[in-house]
Amino acid sequence: MAHEAHRPLRADARRNREKILTAAARVFTTEGLDAQMERIAKEAGVGSATLYRNFPTRETLVEAVYRNEVAHLCDAVPALLAQKSPAEALRAWTRLFLDYVTAKYGMIDALRAIAATGSNPYGHSRQMIQAAITSLMDACAASGMIRTDIHPADIAAALEGIALTSAGAEHRQRAERLLDLTLDGLTVRP
């Protein structure tokens, strides 16, 4: 049974899993973590059996949604760097980070409960985020756009602080102003 968990999913099963994760993130954001699992299945366009086959418990679904959100956040870096200047990519990614933390904020109690059972829903998320920030900052530094005396861990801490103190749609404008102040502090001055 253990080897089945590592077996690659068929293409249709991967699509169903992705549809469920996307729908669950959307439903959890709008309705909260108490949303009915059947509601998530309907939103994803799959049957309840498909949902439960992929995610037998609400906890496994919440954890998978969280991990999926981290992966999407970090996977955005190469595309942003390919499409924008390094400074614009960093600025755009900080907005994605704010979206990620706002979504995570709604799941925080459930994630803590999952962690209390001995599971680690956070896994390698901190390292993944740190690597994403490092890639963005390295690109910005190589272009001469930002100071090189700031460590990526410091930027990660600043971003987390801004996001945690300004989580929620009602604080979005303030959070973006604080992000801009932080990024402007990185800019190389003549």
The amino acid sitting at 52 is: Y
- Lowest mean pLDDT of 74-83, 96-105, 114-123, name the range: 114-123
Radius of gyration (Cα) for the chain, nearest Å? 18
Q: Which residue has the higher pLDDT, 90 or 172?
A: 90
Is residue 64 domain-shared with residue 41, that is, in the same domain?
Answer: no
- Find the CATH number of the domain harbouring 166: 1.10.357.10
Of the pLDDT bands very low, low, confident and very high (cuts 50, 70, 90), residue 4 is very low
Are both 46 and 90 inside the same structural domain? no
Q: Answer yes or no: pTM beyond 0.85.
A: no
84-98, 101-115, 137-151, range with the lowest pLDDT: 101-115
Inter-residue contact 93 to 78 (CB < 8 Å): no
Answer yes or no: are the C-beta atoms of 164 and 105 closer than 8 Å. yes
SS3 for 64-86 is HHHHHHHHHHHHHHHHHHHHCCH
Task: Categorize the per-residue pLDDT at 102 as very low, low, confident or very high, splitting at 50, 70 and 90.
Answer: confident
Q: Whole-number mean pLDDT of the chain?
A: 86
Kindly state whether residues 126 and 109 are assigned to the same domain: yes
Distance between CA 78 and CA 48 in Å, rounded?
35
Q: How many helices (H) and strands (E) does the chain have?
A: 9, 0
The pair of three-digit structure tokens given for residue 162, joined into one six-digit string: 């801004």
| pLDDT value, residue 94 | 94
Which residues form the domain of 157? 58-190
Residue 3 within a domain: no
Tokens in use for 111?
């994630």
User: 154-159 contacts: CB < 8 A, separation 24 or more?
Assistant: 155/182, 155/186, 156/129, 156/130, 158/182, 159/94, 159/97, 159/133
* Mean predicted confidence (pLDDT) in 90-119: 79
> Tens digit of pLDDT for each residue in 67-95?
898 999 999 999 999 999 999 999 999 99
> What integer pLDDT is reported at residue 121 of this predicted model?
65
Question: How many folded domains does the chain comprise?
Answer: 2
**How high is the pLDDT of residue 8?**
65
168: confidence class by pLDDT, cuts 50, 70, 90: low
**Which pLDDT belongs to residue 59?**
85
Same-domain status, 17 and 78 = no
Are residues 122 and 161 both part of a single domain?
A: yes
Is 163 within the bounds of a domain? Answer: yes
